[in-house]
Structure 1
Amino acid sequence: MISEEPNLDYIDQLARDDDAVKQMLIDVLKNEFPTEQQEYYDSLAEKDFKKLASNVHRMKPKISILGLEKSYKLANDYEHNLKNNNLEGFEGFEELLQLISSFLKTI
């Protein structure tokens, strides 16, 4: 169970009150995350652990940007497990993906 909520605090810091920059960062998240998520699911269907680890690795900056510090650690641990052909952490990562997807629909 993930005990934190995504937020735009870090994006606000990066944008420094520049709404255009803030919107650009949000647009990048909204455009890239669904593609990366689909690539993750494709790799999962193929049971390609190397690709899965790479997919998780590419999503970690977005997790961090959304202020999900504990979830970043979860993703990092999951990535490490995938590199060892181990799916431990799958359920938590799946919950995280759903949380981020839902959040991105609201911003």
Structure 2
Amino acid sequence: MSVTIGRVYDDVPPGVTRVLVDRLWPRGIRKGDPRIGQWCKAVAPSTQLRQWYGHDPAKFDEFARRYRAELGGGEQAQALAEIRELAAAGDVELVTATKDPDHSEVPIIVGEL
């Protein structure tokens, strides 16, 4: 089992289950695109948190703290459990459309697995 991080626009590695973890559908990608795999928008940060953060690296530590709190309950906790099950069954790549995956929700999700 391995969990890696990628961008939705990258090529799909062989033998990997890809999971899009953004709340919004990525621009320029049609529904059914094979680069997506599964879409697990329920695990994404809330709209309020996402808009507050605005992908500002200076806010990342506070964003991570708030997002971890969100992952502790509700539909986000259930979605995280589903990703854990996928990861237990094989290699998973969590993907995002953001230009800076290192300052997105993805590394936080990986840390919670």
TM-score (norm 1): 0.30
**Larger relative contact order, structure 1 or 2 (CA cutoff 8 Å, min sep 6):** 2
More strand by share: 2
More helix by share: 1
Higher Rg of the two aligned structures: 1
